[in-house]
């Protein structure tokens, strides 16, 4: 069975959860505490040397990292990842936009603020991250003013990836007041059948302690 190493506070994890649920793929879910460093333990680093969740265990000893790579893997062969070369490239464009221009600003700001992790060094970075976060929202607003979804007029993994942290941007004090097209798209996404909120327990729970008893390949 697929197993997702995850954290319910993570929008990157939510992307994987959402796709697994939407495709009705049975999966086990292992909750890790990021703030306690559980993704930086030797046991976890043996599975993902980059020390991050989500991490999808595809088979015993076979792990896939990077939320957007997990989305592409799960969606491959489904309508959520177009087969047309140009449309697929457009989906990729938005996935890389999300990881480079959106997540490091909007998600990181949310993480620092909502979890009270602001240090002096981080506080100094905040104005830059807030400005870059709004710049990313500007780019999204422009696209969503022209079309209902990011690519090809239908919901794809590009929407899933961008929804993850946009819909909780207010937890990082981002104000979506100026972004009516983004707000409409958020409402459209939340009206999808089977919708569940970011913190909902989904999948079959497996504890991190139990997961570690199945020693990973060193």
If binding is defined by CB under 8 A, does position 90 make contact with a copy of itself? yes
Site stretch for a copy of itself (CB under 8 A), options 18-26, 56-64, 165-173, 207-215: 56-64
CB 202 within 8 A of CB 136: no
What number of other Cβ atoms are within 10 A of residue 62's Cβ? Answer: 10
17 versus 52: smaller Cβ distance to a copy of itself: 52
142 versus 210: smaller Cβ distance to a copy of itself: 142
214's torsion region: left (phi>0), alpha (psi -120 to 50) or beta?
Answer: beta
If binding is defined by CB under 8 A, does position 77 make contact with a copy of itself? yes
Q: How far is the CB of 207 from a copy of itself (least distance, A)?
A: 26
If binding is defined by CB under 8 A, does position 23 make contact with a copy of itself? no
State the Cα–Cα distance between residues 209 and 214, nearest whole angstrom: 9
If binding is defined by CB under 8 A, does position 85 make contact with a copy of itself? yes
Site stretch for a copy of itself (CB under 8 A), options 23-31, 136-144, 162-170, 203-211: 136-144
Residue selected from 103, 137, 165, 171 as contacting a copy of itself according to rule CB under 8 A: 103
State the Cα–Cα distance between residues 161 and 110, nearest whole angstrom: 16
State the Cα–Cα distance between residues 186 and 181, nearest whole angstrom: 9
Indicate the SS3 state at residue 32: coil
63 versus 208: smaller Cβ distance to a copy of itself: 63
If binding is defined by CB under 8 A, does position 119 make contact with a copy of itself? no
Strands 62-65 and 55-59: antiparallel
């Amino acid at each position: 069975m697929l197993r997702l190493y995850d954290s319910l506070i993570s929008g990157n994890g939510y992307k994987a959860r959402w796709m697994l649920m939407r495709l009705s793929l049975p999966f086990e879910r292992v909750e890790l505490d990021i703030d306690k460093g559980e993704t930086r333990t030797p046991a976890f680093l043996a599975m993902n040397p980059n020390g991050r969740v989500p991490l999808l265990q595809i088979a015993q000893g076979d792990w896939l990292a990077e939320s957007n790579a997990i989305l592409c893997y799960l969606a491959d062969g489904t309508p959520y990842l177009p087969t047309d070369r140009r449309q697929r490239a457009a989906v990729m464009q938005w996935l890389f936009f999300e990881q480079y221009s959106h997540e490091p600003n909007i998600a990181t700001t949310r993480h620092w603020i909502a979890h009270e992790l602001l240090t002096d060094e981080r506080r100094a970075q905040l104005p830059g991250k807030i400005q870059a976060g709004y710049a990313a929202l500007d780019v999204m607003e422009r696209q969503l003013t022209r079309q209902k979804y990011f690519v090809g007029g239908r919901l794809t993994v590009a929407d899933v990836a961008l929804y993850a942290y946009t819909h909780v941007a207010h937890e990082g004090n981002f104000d979506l007041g100026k972004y009516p097209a983004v707000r409409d798209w958020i409402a459209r996404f939340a009206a999808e059948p089977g919708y569940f909120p970011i913190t909902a327990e989904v999948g079959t729970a497996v504890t991190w302690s139990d997961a570690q008893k199945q020693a990973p390949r060193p």
